[in-house]
Amino acid sequence: MYDIIVRDGTVVDGTGNVGYRAHVAIARDTVQVLRGDISSLPRAITVDASHCIVAPGFIDAHTHSDLVVLSEPRNEAKIRQGVTTEMIGLDGLGYAPLSRRNLEMMLTYWSGVNGYPSLDYNWSSVSEYLERYYHTTAGNVVYFVPQNCLRAETVGWGDRPATKDEIRAMQDMLKQGMAEGAVGLSSALTYAPGIYASTDELVELCRTVAECGGVYATHVRYDLGDGAFDGFREAVAVAEKSGCPTHISHYTTNLVTRGQAGKLLEIVDHARARGIDLTFDAYPWDIGSTSLHTPIPSWAHEGGPYALIERLKDRAERERMRGQGSKLGGTVERLVVSGVKTGANKWCEGLTVAVIAERLSKDPWDVVCDLLVEEELQASYCAFTGDMDDVKTLMMHPAHMFITDGIRIGGKPNPRACGTYPKILGQLVRDEGVMSLEQAVRKMTSFPAQRHGLSDRGILRDGMKADIVVFDPDTVSCTATVAHPTEPPIGIEYVFVNGKMVLDRGRHTGALSGEPLRHASFPHSMC
């Protein structure tokens, strides 16, 4: 007996093949695709999908939902987009494996991206951390061991090379983390303490990832060398020297590389032509976002978040920092404050630093530094640095997959956190015809599943796990905007996670059926 039958829909199965009419049955947590007359089949629930597309649940291959999905278990921002699985621990940003002291420091340092919600932070290992996601959230999670955690636990927060013994200790932690459920390693080569790692150190860590059968996902060192393409070339070099499958995160243009998407793709194509296993992801937006501490130079982050705050308070140190940090978002005057912690500074959300400075009669650099001090680093920004023509060029490449990379905190977050997948299906596929529906669904389902070893997800096929989204192709749309960034999408009708109905005719059922997922082929003995 089937528990649910989604009947008479057009099945776009995630492979990239043309859609076809069929019924999708759910038995416990698995799928069976049925054709023909099903009137005599016994079942508990029937869902009419006669005007809808039935697809595998979307896999968001790069998110910053790490703590939000624990503090907001219904995870409506993603479920209402059709996202059934989120990858966390990206950009070297995560919370295990960590000792209690380093966990507290990491929570403070990254509060501008993930917030610092009131939770019981009683884990230290990867296995203890992932257990927190088992049937306590609406969607699944996939975890990467963050390079920041490895470095904090061995080298500390200092700007120095790791010793051979420290690298071996990081490799042992990495093996353990992957044995406990992580699918690979992520790096953060713009943020401390990961920024202090050398290329050779990354190669050694990636050799371990390769031995364990995992993937290396990297936020490249954007300010390296020419400040444009050399960071991406370093990622390719790490992949080539280590033999590790490598995935470049949020591979997109910025103010420096704008209009040069073709040159970015040349880097990918030349690497793949040499046999390097290289893929990338990119969000379909021209708006970037990250922590407000990004414009602070790397030397000022040494020692961790509390040392950084003390330096920001020091007028002489503040002047020494001026103009030395990352220019990812352009000059500080252009940054739009998207989130703060305190009520006193909520009025700043949605305003550029230049406007805030004018209203306060302050220097823009002092505005940034003062906000970081007053908010204890829990401040974030958006920056309008991209180009949609570049975005469309990148997303057509066969090595590309879709992501949100969405920051979920603050009053004016980047709208990509709430609207990415409906934007792809509505604006880019239906309205503009940038790519076919089947291509788009593959880039958000089977491709990320295959890349990260999720062998039972991403395709609607007999025996696969029942992560399913049902949407109306004629109405599906993103309604989130810069002015109203958390508006929910329309046209996503039903979502199932591990066979449980989580979204019913656009309304959340309250079901919390998500699980931590692991790489299906990891032999424990390898790690």
The CATH number of the domain holding residue 464 is 2.30.40.10
- pLDDT-derived band at 308 (thresholds 50, 70, 90) equals very high
pLDDT score, position 526 = 55
pLDDT confidence bin for 1, thresholds 50/70/90: confident
**Letter for the amino acid at 436?**
S
- In this structure, the answer to whether residues 87 and 190 fall within a common structural domain is yes
**42-46, 69-73, 414-418: segment of lowest average pLDDT:** 42-46
- Tell me whether residue 452 is in a domain: no
What crossing angle do the helices spanning 364-374 and 305-313 adopt, rounded to 10°? 130
Q: Is the pLDDT of residue 344 over 60?
A: yes
Count of Cβ atoms closer than 10 Å to residue 355 Cβ: 16
Q: What is the mean pLDDT of residues 441-464?
A: 97
pLDDT in tens, 224-245: 999 899 999 999 999 999 999 9
**Is residue 445 situated within a structural domain?**
no
Residues 463 and 368 in one domain: no
Question: Do 251 and 115 share a structural domain?
Answer: yes
Closest Cα to residue 62, out of 246, 217, 245, 257? Answer: 217
Q: Give the residue ranges of DSSP H helices in 380-502.
A: 388-395, 416-423, 437-443, 446-451
Rounded-to-integer distance, Cα 456 and Cα 433, Å: 30
pLDDT the model gives residue 179:
96
On the question of pLDDT at 495 being above 60, the answer is yes
Nearest-angstrom CA–CA distance, 254 and 240: 26
pTM of the model: 0.97
| Contact predicate 151/297, CB 8 Å | no
What total number of domains does the chain contain?
Answer: 3
Average pLDDT score over the chain: 96
Does 438 fall in a domain?
A: no
Range of the domain at 188: 58-289+393-427
Q: Is residue 450 part of a domain?
A: no
Same domain membership, residue 235 and residue 98: yes
